[in-house]
Amino acid sequence: MIGYNPKDWWKLIFAFHRSDTFRFLLPGIIGVSVYTGVVAYIENDIFHASFKNTTVVHSLVGFVLSMLLVFRTNTAYDRWWEGRRLWGSFVNNSRNLALKLNAFLPKDNPARETLRILITNYIFAAKEHLRSGVHPKKLIPLGQYDADFYSNKKHIPNNIMGAIYQEINNLHTQRIISGDRLILLNYELQSFSDNLGGCERIKRTPIPYAYSLFLKKVIFLYVFTMPIGFVIEFKYWAIPIVAIIFYVFASIEVIAEEIEDPFGTDANDLPTDSIYETIKENLEEIL
């Protein structure tokens, strides 16, 4: 995720970052400009066409298309924001769990270090699970919980959470943690799986295919029929007009596509790497 100052207007206006849709859409903008120029030459210089009210239809359709794009953007942003809330919950609940364990466990109990590493590994595994998958060798090894322990596992976060439950149950069996305290720990432990399940729901449930397909077709038809009418009224000035309209409409769709799956490594995705580092530092300080 990119950090920036939203009040720095001039820097943002003239900035060109790899996440800027202008870079991604530049070939399309050039193609639309050339296409509009060809249509303008054919209609004005060869056929000398003289249609009337050529922009009325596109004005009406443009309003409807704008409403569709607003809905598309809001839906994508809702998914992005829900993902951010879930990862904020990871931060809060990991702190709460660590604070409770710090209070419940003696300072010299080795389970403190074991649980700290397991919780850290769980957050890291959750982050990678939502991307391209977890590589066991990147997890922090600890006794029996080494790379071999996680090998051939389809859902590594589940296995780590199972190990956390087992370690805490052992503490309860050894009467280091009482039953009442075990109940107090249960909420944070359960919230980890709930949060990850919410993230998986966002990632594995994209915008319905029919809706996405329809919207792209409408944008394509709208932009590529626009020069036919606009060049009669605006002549060759239709070239920048159509190019700008294409950039605006297509950019909204491209941005929505990027943020609707917010757990990757794109520039506008959630900063899960920095969130993981924050949680790791908190656990090291508390436990």
DSSP string, 41-89: IIIIIIS----SSTTHHHHHHHHHHHHHHHHHHHHHHHHHHHHHHHHHH
Residue 118 is assigned to a structural domain of this protein: yes
Residue 139 is assigned to a structural domain of this protein: yes
**Region 31-45: what's the mean pLDDT?**
92
Cα-to-chain-centroid distance, residue 81 = 9
- Residue 113 binned pLDDT confidence (cut-offs 50, 70, 90): very high
Residue 62 is assigned to a structural domain of this protein: no
- Residue 62 binned pLDDT confidence (cut-offs 50, 70, 90): confident
**Region 114-132: what's the mean pLDDT?**
96
Domain that holds residue 120: 82-205+272-286
The string of DSSP letters for 118-157 reads: HHHHHHHHHHHHTTT---GGGSPPBTTBSHHHHTT-S-HH
Q: Which two tokens stand for residue 285?
A: 């300080």
* Cα distance from N-terminal residue to C-terminal residue, the chain: 29
Task: Note the pLDDT of residue 151.
Answer: 82
Residue 171 is assigned to a structural domain of this protein: yes
Residue 97 is assigned to a structural domain of this protein: yes
**Region 57-76: what's the mean pLDDT?**
87
Q: Is the pLDDT of residue 110 over 80?
A: yes
Q: What is the pLDDT of residues 179-230, one digit of tens each?
A: 999 999 999 999 999 999 999 999 999 888 898 899 999 999 999 999 988 8
Query: Would the CA dihedral through 260, 265, 266, 270 be positive or negative?
Result: positive
Q: In the chain, how many domains are there?
A: 1
Q: What is the DSSP letter of 227?
A: H
- Residue 14 binned pLDDT confidence (cut-offs 50, 70, 90): low
Residue 60 is assigned to a structural domain of this protein: no
Q: Which of 112-121, 139-148, 171-180 has the lowest mean pLDDT?
A: 139-148
- Residue 28 binned pLDDT confidence (cut-offs 50, 70, 90): very high
Task: Note the pLDDT of residue 2.
Answer: 67
Task: Note the pLDDT of residue 18.
Answer: 61
Q: Are 230 and 43 in contact (CB under 8 A)?
A: no
Mean pLDDT over all residues of the chain? 90
Nearest to 59 by CA among 237, 220, 245, 236: 245
Task: Note the pLDDT of residue 154.
Answer: 87
Task: Note the pLDDT of residue 284.
Answer: 96
Task: Note the pLDDT of residue 233.
Answer: 84
DSSP-based three-state secondary structure for 204: helix
Phi, psi of 173 (to 5 degrees): -65, -35
Task: Note the pLDDT of residue 186.
Answer: 92
Residue 89 is assigned to a structural domain of this protein: yes
Task: Note the pLDDT of residue 132.
Answer: 87
d(CA 174, CA 40): 84
- Residue 53 binned pLDDT confidence (cut-offs 50, 70, 90): low
Residue 222 is assigned to a structural domain of this protein: no
